[in-house]
Structure 1
Amino acid sequence: MNSPSTEWPSSLTDEELDELDRYLRGHADEGRLLLDGVHGMLSAIAVGPLEVLPDEWLPEVLHDPFADEAEGNRVLELLAKLNDSIRVELDVDAYEPILGEVDTDTGPTLSAAGWCEGFSRGIDLRAALWEKRLADDPQLMEMLGPVMALAVDEGILSAEAEFEKLTDEEYDECLAQVAPVLGAVDHYWHEHPATEAELSALARAPAPEGEEAPPPPRQRSGHWVH
């Protein structure tokens, strides 16, 4: 398979997003990430404390052999462009999450379930470092509040205390905070990078064995919304 080009445009057109969406839906078994989930995962990686190489995150996205080399090159190209676009959007304060759309009694509505599931998986790729810093610095936990509220509301995270479902207004308010939250977290890790002690502890951490797979996100229908 050819190596990805380094001169791809940094943003995907609507047609390219549709193309990637169709591919992911065509290979979406139980618990696999769709476009909103892939965007959430790559967003967590982009604002996280340490680089995560494609060799680490691609297995979270691609599970089936490609039909041929042309399909493989095209899908990898689209995923790389999606990844590049997140960094560019964060740098110019223009980030927008790609959200799902679910059917309700009152019509289609936006859903952060898939994006939150992907964001959670992105954090999991550097879980030890995230968890240690979240435990040590309440500022980071507070920053992530709106995203965590959405994740708990959607059943992606478990709440330690009893948690009332968000009202529609509260849900929309949390959605509106996703972009500012990511900008703040991105800035936080630049201002407070991982310490040598944290990195040493991370290097000494044993590889997880026999871990159960994370529960699949709630079933959702609809299409990507940007």
Structure 2
Amino acid sequence: MTADWMVSPSDNELEELDRFLRAHAGDEDMLLDGVHGFLTALAIGPVPAKPEEWLPEILHEPFADADEGERVLTLLARLNDAITPELETGSYEPILGELEVEDGPPAFTARGWCEGFSRGIDLRAPSWEGRLGQDSELMELLSPIIALAIDDGVFESDADFAPLGDEDYDECLAQIPNAVGAVAEYWRSHPLAADETPGEGGALPPRRRGGRWVH
């Protein structure tokens, strides 16, 4: 493995990866913001995931050639490998989508990132759900992400949640890095017990499936 494998992708490289994902995305496939949320959930979660587990969730078509394959895999590896060091140095920022706004600059949206994050939890659902059913602290740490996900329609909830105002939405966006870091620290401090199994209740609301999110 070369040293530059571990370097975070530059803005130009993220745009390159974004173009590739957009060109090969099906109706329910993740784009760049979703991939970042997905890899973030796996990086901070209770059980590490190997590339052979998470790559099939992102890539669904053969590469055009070996050079394209090597390039895309390298960029995905850099994106993934940068998450933990960024959290440790306080430089982590979620990759967010943009919405066109009349008479104003584009607005940031966490919908794609939250959708990917929920898929990362899905990949380790028994571990997450078991702990969420036993420890309300974890749910509290996730609360800004859950609020955004419910507001954007990623999660469905039986509870009556009032829509977030613009200021509240932006505040929740600003809280994502701290929430992600706190959840990572939670799992480091409270690892799974050998006999830990999924519990009843307390799990995240069900994720809405179907529908395409277009930036």
Settle same-fold status: TM greater than 0.5: yes
Match of 1:110 among 105, 108, 111: 108
The residue aligned with 1:87 is 84
How much has 1:214 moved relative to structure 2? 5.9
Aligned counterparts of 1:94 and 1:52: Cα–Cα separation in 2: 23
For residue 95 of structure 2, give the secondary structure of its aligned residue in structure 1. Answer: coil
CA contact (8 A) 2:110 2:173 kept: yes
Match of 2:62 among 62, 65, 88: 65
Letter in 2 for 1:159: S
How much has 1:219 moved relative to structure 2? 2.5
The residue aligned with 2:31 is 34
How much has 1:216 moved relative to structure 2? 3.6
Q: Alignment length, in residue pairs?
A: 205
Structure 1 residues 146, 217: CA separation in 2 closer, same or farther (over 3 Å shift)?
farther
Letter in 2 for 1:179: P
Structure 1 residues 64, 166: CA separation in 2 closer, same or farther (over 3 Å shift)?
same
Identical-pair percentage: 55
For residue 193 of structure 1, give the secondary structure of its aligned residue in structure 2. Answer: coil
Match of 2:118 among 117, 120, 141: 120
The residue aligned with 2:130 is 132
Say whether residues 1:96 and 2:93 are aligned partners: yes
Q: Deviations over 1:122-168 (max 9, x none)?
A: 00010011011011000000110000000001111111211111100
Taking the TM superposition and a 5 Å limit, the aligned residue runs for 1:139-178 are 139-178=137-176
Say whether residues 1:220 and 2:214 are aligned partners: yes
Say whether residues 1:194 and 2:188 are aligned partners: no
CA contact (8 A) 1:156 1:217 kept: no
Aligned counterparts of 1:169 and 1:218: Cα–Cα separation in 2: 26
Match of 1:52 among 32, 49, 53: 49
How much has 1:220 moved relative to structure 2? 2.4
Q: Tell me how large the CA RMSD over aligned residues is.
A: 1.5
CA contact (8 A) 2:156 2:208 kept: no
Aligned counterparts of 1:94 and 1:125: Cα–Cα separation in 2: 26
Aligned counterparts of 2:21 and 2:52: Cα–Cα separation in 1: 18
How much has 1:91 moved relative to structure 2? 1.3
Match of 2:179 among 181, 191, 207: 181
CA contact (8 A) 2:150 2:157 kept: yes
Q: Deviations over 1:98-118 (max 9, x none)?
A: 000011334411010000000
Aligned counterparts of 1:217 and 1:29: Cα–Cα separation in 2: 11
The residue aligned with 2:9 is 12
How much has 1:29 moved relative to structure 2? 1.7
Aligned counterparts of 2:17 and 2:172: Cα–Cα separation in 1: 27
The residue aligned with 1:209 is none
CA contact (8 A) 1:32 1:216 kept: no
Structure 1 residues 218, 167: CA separation in 2 closer, same or farther (over 3 Å shift)?
farther
CA contact (8 A) 1:152 1:158 kept: yes
For residue 108 of structure 2, give the secondary structure of its aligned residue in structure 1. Answer: strand
Structure 1 residues 217, 111: CA separation in 2 closer, same or farther (over 3 Å shift)?
farther
